[in-house]
Chain A
């Protein structure tokens, strides 16, 4: 460790991965895909009593272009499914998905003709939160889990993630043909 001793103690050296992980972990910009009761509970998480800004996830972005954490809060019906898929596809890498509440995770107690039984049929999900609606502490716990995931994975992991996402979005070959036509 010749370099650090030479530089004295006011300068620390670290690897690029660590800095990138530290940056991504502490500034997760959430996009709240709020449809139902969980969205109201998400509003409690964001507001000043439970204050998610202690974990850096407070700047709520409503456009997928500027978000890197998609929080699906509420029931996703079959009419909403293409929209959720498109919003997930339009988010830049690296991106994570939290499925908040029983309805998003498994369809909840709406087991009928129009409710998607769990959004993992549509988009790859990183963290599930149980509860109907889950308490704000549970939402913050999920965000912490995502932060631990970021710590665990290397930055190069995002490559295979995008391949995994392609299975869900479906190959866009027919889209390409339509575009050229």
Chain B
């Protein structure tokens, strides 16, 4: 096990343990009162909630979400390139520009199609 692997495992495990401890600890210490009113949903202090959260809403929300994920992943791919920008040199730069241009074409298509038009 090279020292690097141990370090990574150490960081990941600590990062997992600390939030778990914090969340579970408050579960043990606090006293839970689970009567019916407490568990009912919070509707600005009113009691009658009409309908459930699983109502059907317009598809444009889904479109916006998917497009966001798509271009977000694109930026994630740029990070490794940006980190060792010098070592990759010119051809690395050109490859990334090609990658960006392809996605830009996709973006222009989305705008022309009007997927971002809201109302």
Contacts and interface: CB of A to CB of B under 8 A. Distances in A.
B36 A176 contact: yes
Contact of A172 (B32, B36, B42, B45): B36
B47 to A, nearest CB: 6
Interface string B26-45: 00011111011110101011
A165 interface: yes
A94 B31 contact: yes
Contact of A155 (B29, B32, B37): B29
Contacts, number: 50
A165 B37 contact: no
Interface of B: 29-33, 35-38, 40, 42, 44-47
A40 interface: no
A86 B45 contact: yes
A90 B44 CA distance: 11
A169 interface: yes
A20 B29 contact: yes
A83 B45 contact: yes
Interface string A78-117: 0000111011011011100000000000000000000000
A93 B36 contact: no
A54 interface: no
B42 A93 contact: no
Contacts of B45: 82-84, 86-87
Contacts of A16: 29
Contacts of A172: 35-37
A16 B26 CA distance: 12
B28 to A, nearest CB: 10
Contact of B33 (A84, A87, A162): A162
A47 interface: no
28 contacts: A63-B42, A64-B42, A82-B45, A83-B46, A86-B37, A86-B45, A86-B47, A89-B35, A89-B37, A89-B38, A90-B37, A90-B38, A90-B40, A92-B30, A92-B38, A93-B30, A93-B32, A93-B33, A155-B29, A158-B31, A159-B31, A162-B33, A166-B35, A169-B35, A169-B37, A172-B35, A172-B36, A176-B36
